[in-house]
Structure formats: C-alpha cells, structure tokens
Amino acid sequence: MGLNIALVGTGAVGSTILQVLDERNFPVDGLKLLATERSAGKKVTFRGEEYTIEKTRPESFEGVDVALFAGGKASTLFAHEAVSRGAVVIDNGSAFRMDSDVPLVVPEVNPQAIREHKGIIANPNCSTIQMVVALKPIHDLSPIRRVVVSTYQAVSGAGQEAMDELENQTRALLAGEPLEVSVFQHQIAMNLIPHIDVFLDNDYTKEEMKMVNETQKIMGVPGMKISATTVRVPIMRSHSEAITVETADKISRDEARKAFGNAPGIILQDDPAGNVYPMPFFTSNTDEVYVGRVREDLAFDNGLSFFVVADQLRKGAATNAVQIAETMLEFGMLGGQS
C-alpha cells in the first residue's frame, strides 16, 4: 500500500528528492508538489505521470501521510500546519534541528531517535550528515573525545546561482576578461574561501557551529569537543572533509579500516599505493559516504585521520530524507501501520 506524499519545494533538493523516491522504489500512492506562487502551474513528471505544482497552503496537507520539506522558509510557515492535519514532516531546513522535541536523524547513526518524534523530524546539515556517518563506526569501537574537521564544500551547496557564478568566472578568467562577484564574498574561481554563512561572536561561522551542535545531538554526546573550519572550494558538486578524531582507547589503522568497511552507508576507498581515495568528481550522484586516507594520527596518542566525500544534494539532503521515511516504514510508523 502506497503513501500520500507532499513535496514542498521543487528546486535542486526537491527535484533530487523526487529522483531518489523513484530510484529507491518508495511506495508513493498520491503525490502533491507544492512550492511558492512563482513556481505554481509548472509541470513535473514523476513515474510517467505529469503533476502540476501548486502554491503551498495550509489545506494542501489534508490527507497527506508524509510531507517532505526541501528547505527554506516554507518549513517555518507550514510544517506545523502539516502536522496538525496528520502528516509527518521530514524537514531539510535548519528551523527545527536543535529543538529538543525534534529528532535530528541520520538513519545509519541514530535511527531509534525517529520513534521520539512529535510530528517533525529534522534532516541535519549536509556537512554534518556525511561526517557523523563516518564517525559512528569509530565511536562504536571507542568513544570519540575530540573531533577536528576541515571541509572542502562544493559551490552547489549554495544553489544554482553559485554554480553559475563559478562557471562564468572560470570562463572569464581563462579569457582574460573581468570577473563578476555576486554570490560569494570573493572570487571563487581558482580560489578557496574559508567563510560559509555568517561569522558568530566566537569567530566561528554559523556553518561551523552547525557541525558542532548537530553532531553532538545526533551522536548523543553533548560534551564531545569539536572544532570545524568550513571552506568553499571551486568544485561543482560533492563535499569533502578532512577529519581527525581522538578516541578514549587506541584504535589501529587496520581496526578502523575494518570498521569503515563493515559500516552501513560507507564505501571504503583506501589504497594509497594504488592512488585510490575518495574524490568529489567520482563520487557525485551517489548515495554513499566514501572514506579513505585512513591513518593513525601523529598529533594524538589515540588519534585517527581520514578523508570523507559525499554528494551533498543526495546523502547530504534528499537521500537522507527519503531514508528517514523508509526507516519509519520499517518501524511500522506510517500510513496506518501498527
């Protein structure tokens, strides 16, 4: 028996959610595509059937089992309206992530948190999702006490306009023409920008503190010490992260590699002699988290370092949201399941 699904937002994340629902054969009986008035009336094809995008209204959620919010202001405007009409909301935005009553879920890491939901389940930030998937198998071997992470985040994380800006700047640079800078704080072509989102009072950015606070909540360790530096790089798609962890007990490289290799949602690419390691170009348009460059760290006695890459539109957003819905089905929590 299929479910009645509402998708709120039909941009990059929303269209990827539709793609993932189809690829993973999620049981969709009815589908409503909801967006702003600007997108209303446009046609979208899903599983051979044409759907018309509607303007989002409170009554749009009548009869809906699951409302998938792709992010943005719609969550704060309509999430509670959807819940009041009987829908379970899976929200890709940041509005509810740190609410104590809202589970923040990555199914490979904390699936049982779904059982505590009160109508809304939050999808974490993209850079957080791929990191905690990689942290989980190590944390299971020995509790993680400290995390130091530097990210290399693709421009697609800032939307289509950012992707267009990188393309246009690269063409202009190669042609010796003036560059236009509008989306980012500085030129992104042939450059790195260690600045994602706004700076906060502690001189970390909001993006960096999302990784700190969300990871502590997902891992269930409020005191886990985490320091993040997030960097925008001139890559179109897929985020990369260099992660170093300190654990309570010593974990060897071989033990870590075995744990990564057996962990759900992870593909181990770790053969330095053969030049095998994760890279964004080769891991884009996939659903897994790729881990490589695994080594015992030289700065911490109980330290490990590794490199992590994942597609931020898929595992970092759309796929994780669909996996939450799939886990709810497995738990018998949707569509009148008992």
Residues carrying an active site annotation: 126, 239
Distances (CA, A) of 321 to 244, 303, 327: 27, 32, 10
Q: How would DSSP label each residue in 43-62?
A: EEEETTEEEE-EE--GGGGT
Q: Which of these, 120, 114, 49, lies nearest to 83 by C-alpha position?
A: 120
DSSP state of 222: T
CA torsion, ordered 116, 287, 254, 276, to nearest 10 deg: -160
Phi/psi of residue 145, each to 5°?
A: -100, -25
Closest CA to 184 of 237, 252, 232, 122: 232
**330 touches 117 (CB < 8 A):** no
SS3 content of the chain, % helix, strand, coil (to 5): 35, 25, 40
